[in-house]
């Protein structure tokens, strides 16, 4: 069986700011339908790496090649949305379907509205559709952002700490939903997270940013759960196949 299509290829990629690399070079091929988590301590360069993969930041060195016509989306940290903007959930969802010059159509299409409704229902947050973001809790806001991801119909999604304000069951359900999207729709997810314990059962690969130790390690959840070094870094991790 042929390997799934390569969506993003990082070659000797170095990421950072002000021409200063935060990490050693990384080689990584990201394939269709994969769920990859990026873990590491605060300031290790996880978000910088994710934004470089998306093309929001320029690499310090090396290259990032994205397949032609790749539709990407981004789920920012819930806290990054300005609470002073009186935005409604259905409006935020509507943006998820806008790509390139799609805003030239002044209103949402029927299909986009239906996608939004389905996405909210999938995550069990339909009653929030007409609520304003500043009325929602952090966890609710994150679920709304995930609903927008579902409605975006993207090939590749990068999620920045999508479960930071969620409890244990909601965190597990989020990773399970990403797994389902990967299996059913072939959507690839790169998830920057600290919730490695909840993620391991649902992900294909783990990228560990450990600048003080082994640099960058691309590994599997199973190896993570068996490595004393990673246990020391992230606490007890149990992997269930």
Partner 1 sequence: MSDAPTTGADVGLDDLAEIEASLPGHEVHDPTVSTIDGGPTWREFADGWDLFSDAVWSATIAGAILGYLSVYIVLRRMVFVSAAITQAAGVGVALAFFAAIHLGFAIDPRLGATAASLAVAALVSRSWERAGLTREMVLGLLFALTSGLAVVIGSRISQEAHDVQAILFGTAVIVDPGDFRALAWVSAIVLAIQLWWYRGFTFASFDPLTARVHRVPVALLDLVLLGSIALVVAQAASTLGALPAFALSTLPAIAARLLVTRGPLLVTFVIAAVIGAAAGVAGYLLAFFWEMPVGATQTVVAGASVVIAVAIRALVRLALRLIRGRRPAPSSAA
| Smallest gap from residue 18 Cβ to partner 1 (A) | 10
| Smallest gap from residue 109 Cβ to partner 1 (A) | 11
For 158, the 3-state DSSP assignment is: strand
Q: Is 82 in the site for partner 1 (CB under 8 A)?
A: yes
Total of chain residues touching partner 1, rule CB under 8 A: 36
Closer of 32 and 108 to partner 1 (Cβ): 108
How far is residue 151's CA from residue 186's CA, in Å, rounded to a whole number?
Answer: 14
Residue at token pair 């981004």: 74
Which of 33, 45, 59, 94 is the binder for partner 1 (CB under 8 A)? 94
Site mask for partner 1 (CB under 8 A), range 118-157, x = bound:
--------------x-------------------x-----
**DSSP-derived secondary structure letter, 108:** -
User: For partner 1, which stretch binds (CB under 8 A), given 8-16, 34-42, 69-77, 208-216?
Assistant: 69-77
The alpha helices in 30-167, defined as continuous H runs, are: 46-54, 89-96, 110-122, 138-152
Q: Is 79 in the site for partner 1 (CB under 8 A)?
A: no
User: For partner 1, which stretch binds (CB under 8 A), given 24-32, 88-96, 190-198, 218-226?
Assistant: 88-96
Which of 92, 123, 173, 233 is the binder for partner 1 (CB under 8 A)? 92
Dihedrals phi, psi of 117, to nearest 5 degrees: -60, -45
Which of 87, 129, 164, 218 is the binder for partner 1 (CB under 8 A)? 87
Contact 169, 1 (CB under 8 A): no
Q: Is 164 in the site for partner 1 (CB under 8 A)?
A: no
Which of 88, 113, 185, 239 is the binder for partner 1 (CB under 8 A)? 88
Paired sense of beta strands 35-40 and 205-210, if any: parallel
Residue 173 makes CB contacts below 8 A (sequence gap 6+) with none
Closer of 87 and 164 to partner 1 (Cβ): 87
How far is residue 9's CA from residue 29's CA, in Å, rounded to a whole number?
Answer: 5
Q: Is 90 in the site for partner 1 (CB under 8 A)?
A: yes
- Residue ranges in 95-114 that form contacts with partner 1 under rule CB under 8 A: 95, 98-108
For 106, the token pair is: 């002044």
**Phi-psi region for residue 43, left (φ > 0), alpha (ψ -120 to 50) or beta?**
left
Report the interhelical angle of 138-152 vs 89-96 (nearest 10°). Answer: 30
| Smallest gap from residue 101 Cβ to partner 1 (A) | 7
How far is residue 218's CA from residue 29's CA, in Å, rounded to a whole number?
Answer: 11
- Residues in contact with partner 1 by CB under 8 A are 51, 54-56, 72-76, 80-82, 84-88, 90-92, 94-95, 98-108, 132, 152, 158
């Amino acid at each position: 069986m042929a390997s799934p299509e390569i969506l993003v290829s990082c070659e000797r990629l170095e990421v950072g700011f002000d021409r200063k690399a935060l990490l050693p070079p990384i080689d990584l091929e990201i394939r269709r339908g994969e769920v990859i988590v990026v873990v590491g301590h605060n300031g290790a360069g996880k978000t910088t790496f994710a934004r470089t993969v998306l093309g929001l930041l320029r690499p310090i060195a090396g290259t990032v090649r994205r397949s032609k016509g790749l539709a990407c989306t981004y789920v920012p940290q819930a806290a990054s949305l300005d609470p002073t903007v009186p935005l409604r959930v259905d409006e935020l969802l509507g943006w998820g379907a806008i790509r390139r010059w799609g805003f030239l159509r002044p209103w949402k299409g029927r299909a986009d509205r239906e996608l939004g409704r389905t996405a909210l229902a999938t995550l069990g947050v339909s009653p929030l559709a007409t609520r304003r973001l500043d009325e929602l809790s952090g966890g609710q806001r994150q679920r709304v952002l995930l609903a927008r991801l579902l409605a975006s119909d993207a090939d590749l999604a990068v999620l920045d700490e999508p479960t930071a304000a969620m409890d244990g069951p909601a965190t597990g359900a989020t990773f399970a939903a990403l797994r389902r999207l990967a299996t059913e729709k072939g959507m690839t997810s790169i998830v920057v997270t600290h919730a490695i314990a909840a993620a391991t059962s649902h992900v294909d690969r783990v990228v560990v940013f450990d600048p003080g130790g082994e640099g960058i390690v691309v590994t599997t959840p199973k190896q993570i759960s068996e490595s004393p070094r990673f246990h020391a870094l992230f606490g007890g991790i149990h992997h269930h196949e």
